[in-house]
Amino acid sequence: MTRLVKVGQIVAPHGIKGMVKINTSLENPRALTQYGPIYTQTGQSMTVRIVCVKGTQVIAALDGISDRNAAENMRGTHLLINRDNLPAVQADQYYYCDLIGLTVLDQSGTVWGMVKSVENYGASDILVIETKAGADVMVAFTKETVPTVDLTNKTITVLLPDFAKEEA
């Protein structure tokens, strides 16, 4: 089964000739077109030609989009690629998409919840954990607070701070 992961989102038109601004979640935004076909959230295959890169934002031309109105209609479109096309990562590095859905264990090995999402607001990565009680708790994704990530067994061990234990 093909697993598609989000690598970017069209956020605005750029100019009058149909180009768009794309926010990417890739370490190297120029790599957007290097991982095989790009799809939209509706499953439509899309050809993207990068014109320039500004930080994590890409200015790109899309096949079939030739004016500002058509580009405006693409606003909010998620860009996805096949997860299997992403390069392997080094030890102790993870793709966000591989962490989502992992079972969260506390220090004693008791199931505490699951990873709902991974966020980054600029300082560091944050795991958003949905507890068994249904509450969302945010925990810094550091080696100190998350000593073990076991992708094979789909578990992650978290040293829970006191405030988080109260949320359970």
Q: Where are the domains of the chain?
A: 4-85, 96-167
Residue 162: predicted pLDDT:
67
Residue 106 reports pLDDT greater than 70: yes
In 15-154 the beta strands, taken as DSSP E runs, fall at 19-24, 38-40, 45-46, 48-54, 57-62, 78-82, 103-105, 111-120, 125-131, 136-140, 148-150
What mean pLDDT, rounded, does the chain reach? 90
Distance CA 108, CA 39 (A): 42
Mean pLDDT of 10-17: 96
pLDDT band at 93 (very low <50, low <70, confident <90, very high): confident
Report percent pLDDT > 70 for the chain: 94
Distance CA 78, CA 10 (A): 7
- Each residue's pLDDT tens digit, 69-79: 999 999 999 99
pTM: 0.74
Mapped onto helix, strand or coil, the DSSP state of residue 159 is: coil
Mapped onto helix, strand or coil, the DSSP state of residue 100 is: coil
Residue 76: exposed, middle, or buried by beta-carbon count in 10 A (0-12, 13-18, 19+)? exposed
Enter the CATH code of domain 96-167. Answer: 2.30.30.240
pLDDT band at 63 (very low <50, low <70, confident <90, very high): very high
pLDDT band at 95 (very low <50, low <70, confident <90, very high): confident
Could you tell me if 72 and 19 are in contact, meaning their C-beta atoms sit under 8 angstroms apart? Answer: no
Residue 20: predicted pLDDT:
98
Neighbours of 83 (CB within 10 A): 14
CATH level 3 topology of 4-85: Elongation Factor Tu (Ef-tu); domain 3 (2.40.30)
